[in-house]
Amino acid sequence: MPHKNDSLIIKSASLIGIATFISRVLGLVREQILLALFSRFQTDAFNVAFRIPNLLRDLFAEGALSAAFVPTFTKTLQNKGSSAAWRLGSLVFNFLLLIIGSIVVVGILNAHAIVQVIAGDFSSSTGKFSLTVNLTQIMFPFLLLVALASVAMGILNSHKQFFVPALAPALFNIGSILITLLMFYVLPKFGIDPVIGLAIGVLTGGLMQLLIQFPSLLKLGFKYSPSLSIKNSALQKILLLMGPGTLGLAATQINLFISTWLATTQGEGPVTWLNAAFRLMYLPIGIFGVAVALGAQDLFKNLISGILVLVEKRFKMGDWILVEGIIEGIVEKIGFRSTTIRKFDKSLAIIPNFQFAENAVINISQTTNWIISWTINLQYDSTVEQLKTIRNEIEDYIKQNEDYKPELGYAVRIDKFADSSIDMYIRCFTKTDDWDEWLAVKERLAISIKQIVEKNKASFAFPSQSIYVEKK
């Protein structure tokens, strides 16, 4: 029988796929316009200049940041509510404005040195190096825009809104195309290289990619706060999670860096063709990979959790398990996506496997020694001698009876003076690990305690209240 979330998964994946397809197609259109309107001299300079903020974007913004932000924001939203989630969103926005903004400023001021590292051979071509530096300086703020857009995307994804965030990159391409075409005819009139319009188009597209998501954010109730506190535990968790993600992406970015550097040493054109090749390669990956990763994230979360359950052997079929607040019963089937549990009222429950990864699972069937922990209530008119005798006889019963394991520890002590009774605490471990036998052991202990109390002419207490009537 299909899960009720299947249609939602398919719908989400389809919408994301459509939006991503539009974005990728527009990316190809932008690439073709670039190739048609500009020389390889100009496109090489643009692609190298765009590679620099784009490399940092992949490394920090859309890659590691998204992977760290989305689960943390979602958990905050579920556990602490919207107010805490909006506060976290604002903190991340403000943190990025400070840190990424600083990186952008440093990048602009040091664009000459950065281009020298990645495309030093451009200096052999008259004007190519300086053009690349100028384009780099213009496009560096794109890094900040796309980082903020990535946070907005994460917030919307956490609220199960996928289409608008997936469509946002299409707005980037539309903005880039329109501004490029406009500037191609306008800038030459002022003696400015029209390829500068490409850089302006990138900034415009990045801004559009960010702004298109704000109506959806406001509709959700997003409330921006200008505060910034690095002591926020959720923000610290995001920064901590970004570390491994950044390191993992670093290998890919180093590869791209080296590929670009090698291409710059091969004359005019190789950088452009390399970029075009990457564009074609990412088309199918973007359509299917992104759609599955976002739209079917719950599916994959359950699959991974199911694998962990099987590999780690947290429980097996026939086990009695308890997940506080979720389920208690006997495991009948363990699947990759869900686990079937028969509850004690004989009803059947199908639980998504992520519940067993995110919550504490008590495998009651794996209990080695059942514990008995009781408090018995004795009347206040019980004498000290009666209390001592009852305590000693119960203790002797536990120590001498084969049903118990006194070596694991036991306690029989006068515990406290309650409102209506003198309370005696009893704690011991049984030898059996069988549920039915444990119930029988408890029953025998209860009967023995009653016999001991009655033999010593004491009585059990029950809640009582005394009322005094003043006689006038």
The contacts found for 412-418 with CB under 8 angstroms, 24 or more apart, are 414/387, 415/375, 418/377
Lowest-confidence range among 120-129, 185-194, 279-288, 463-472?
Answer: 279-288
Could you tell me if 374 and 447 are in contact, meaning their C-beta atoms sit under 8 angstroms apart?
A: no
- Residue 264 tokens read as 């710059």
**Within this chain, do residues 384 and 333 fall inside the same structural domain, yes or no?**
no
Of 205, 215, 199, 137, nearest in space to 171 by CA: 205
pLDDT at residue 75 above 50?
yes
Higher pLDDT, 119 or 401: 401
pLDDT at residue 383 above 90?
yes
What phi, psi does 380 have (nearest 5°)? -70, -20
DSSP at 445: H
Residue 163 lies in a domain: yes
pLDDT at residue 252 above 80?
no
Could you tell me if 109 and 96 are in contact, meaning their C-beta atoms sit under 8 angstroms apart?
A: no
For residue 455, the model assigns a pLDDT of: 94
CATH number of the domain at 395, please: 3.30.70.100
Of 152, 196, 202, nearest in space to 177 by CA: 202
CA 8 centroid distance within chain = 20
* Interval 135-174: pLDDT, tens: 999 999 998 898 888 888 888 888 878 778 877 888 888 8
Residue 63 lies in a domain: yes
Q: Is 468 helix (H, G, I), strand (E, B) or coil?
A: coil
Q: Nearest 10 degrees: CA dihedral of 9, 15, 19, 25? A: 90
**Within this chain, do residues 149 and 107 fall inside the same structural domain, yes or no?**
yes
The count of domains in the chain is: 3
Residue 460 lies in a domain: no
The CB density around residue 432, as the number of other CB atoms within 10 Å, is 17
For tokens 């120590």, the residue is: 399
* Interval 417-431: pLDDT, tens: 988 899 999 999 998
Residue 172 lies in a domain: yes
Higher pLDDT, 308 or 438: 438
Of 135, 148, 248, nearest in space to 201 by CA: 135
* Interval 213-244: pLDDT, tens: 889 988 888 888 887 877 788 888 887 777 66
Residue 267 lies in a domain: yes
For residue 58, the model assigns a pLDDT of: 63
Residue 310 lies in a domain: no
**Within this chain, do residues 381 and 339 fall inside the same structural domain, yes or no?**
no
Could you tell me if 228 and 99 are in contact, meaning their C-beta atoms sit under 8 angstroms apart?
A: no
**Within this chain, do residues 322 and 268 fall inside the same structural domain, yes or no?**
no
**Within this chain, do residues 71 and 204 fall inside the same structural domain, yes or no?**
yes
What phi, psi does 425 have (nearest 5°)? -95, 135
CA 277 centroid distance within chain = 33
What phi, psi does 427 have (nearest 5°)? -145, 130
For residue 460, the model assigns a pLDDT of: 92
Q: Is 351 helix (H, G, I), strand (E, B) or coil?
A: strand
**Residue 14 to residue 17: CA distance in whole angstroms:** 5
**Within this chain, do residues 153 and 281 fall inside the same structural domain, yes or no?**
yes
**Within this chain, do residues 59 and 95 fall inside the same structural domain, yes or no?**
yes
pLDDT at residue 363 above 70?
yes
**Within this chain, do residues 358 and 386 fall inside the same structural domain, yes or no?**
no
**Within this chain, do residues 319 and 201 fall inside the same structural domain, yes or no?**
no
For residue 367, the model assigns a pLDDT of: 75
pLDDT confidence bin for 63, thresholds 50/70/90: low
Which helix (H) or strand (E) segment is 424 a member of? strand 422-429
Residue 28 lies in a domain: yes
* Residue 205 domain boundaries: 6-295
**Residue 363 to residue 367: CA distance in whole angstroms:** 7
Residue 88 lies in a domain: yes
Q: Tell me what the mean pLDDT of segment 317-335 comes to.
A: 87
**Within this chain, do residues 201 and 271 fall inside the same structural domain, yes or no?**
yes
pLDDT confidence bin for 452, thresholds 50/70/90: very high
Percent of the chain past pLDDT 70, that is, above it, reads: 76
Could you tell me if 168 and 26 are in contact, meaning their C-beta atoms sit under 8 angstroms apart?
A: no
Higher pLDDT, 224 or 354: 224
**Within this chain, do residues 446 and 342 fall inside the same structural domain, yes or no?**
no
**Within this chain, do residues 54 and 80 fall inside the same structural domain, yes or no?**
yes
Of 195, 155, 199, 196, nearest in space to 176 by CA: 199
CATH number of the domain at 338, please: 2.30.30.60
| CA distances, 115 to each of 141, 262, 411 (Å) | 16, 14, 76
pLDDT confidence bin for 2, thresholds 50/70/90: very low
Q: Tell me what the mean pLDDT of segment 67-76 comes to.
A: 82
Cα angle value 340/345/350 (rounded, 5°): 20
DSSP at 285: I
What phi, psi does 270 have (nearest 5°)? -60, -40
Could you tell me if 61 and 146 are in contact, meaning their C-beta atoms sit under 8 angstroms apart?
A: yes
